[in-house]
Amino acid sequence: MAGKPRVKIPKSVTAGDVITIKTLIKHKMESGQRKDKEGNTIPRDIINKFEASFNGSVVFSADLDPAVSANPYIEFSARVEEAGTFMMKWTDDAGTVTEFSKDIAIKG
């Protein structure tokens, strides 16, 4: 189960600026490689997809594999031409989607 995400986006930018967005979400990212005390393999359970959209259009996405560390940290960029809303989506192996949105304003 994914925990609450944390997303760092500037509150406002000059139109046309490229910003860096930092995201973090709590998740064990169980790789499927570990064994429990009885020797049974602990099943894989990871966040396998991350998607960032702005005003409804996808800007960036990532396919994650079990080699991504627990509590996945994903940093990426976006060019902001107008005010609007960023929507982040994390999807896990069970198909559960965690969403987080943040607005951004244009300066001046």
Partner 1 sequence: MNISRRAWLSTSAAATAAAFFGISGSAIASIEDVEKLISEFGGGATAEAGGPLKLTTPEIAENGNSVPVSVSVESPMTDDDYVESILVMAGDNPSPDIATFHFTPASGVAKASIRMRLAKTQDVFAVAKTNSGKLYKVSNNVKVTIGGCGG
Q: Choose between 52 and 98: whose C-beta lies nearer to partner 1.
A: 52
Window 63-102: contact mask with partner 1 (x via CB under 8 A): xxxxxxxx-xxxxxxxx-----------------------
Q: Choose between 50 and 98: whose C-beta lies nearer to partner 1.
A: 50
Give residues 6-65 in contact with partner 1 (rule: CB under 8 A).
18-19, 31, 33-35, 41, 54, 57-65
Sign of CA dihedral 20, 17, 91, 26: positive
* Nearest in space to 50 (alpha carbons), one of 17, 97, 18: 97
Per DSSP bridges, beta strands 97-106 and 73-80 are unpaired
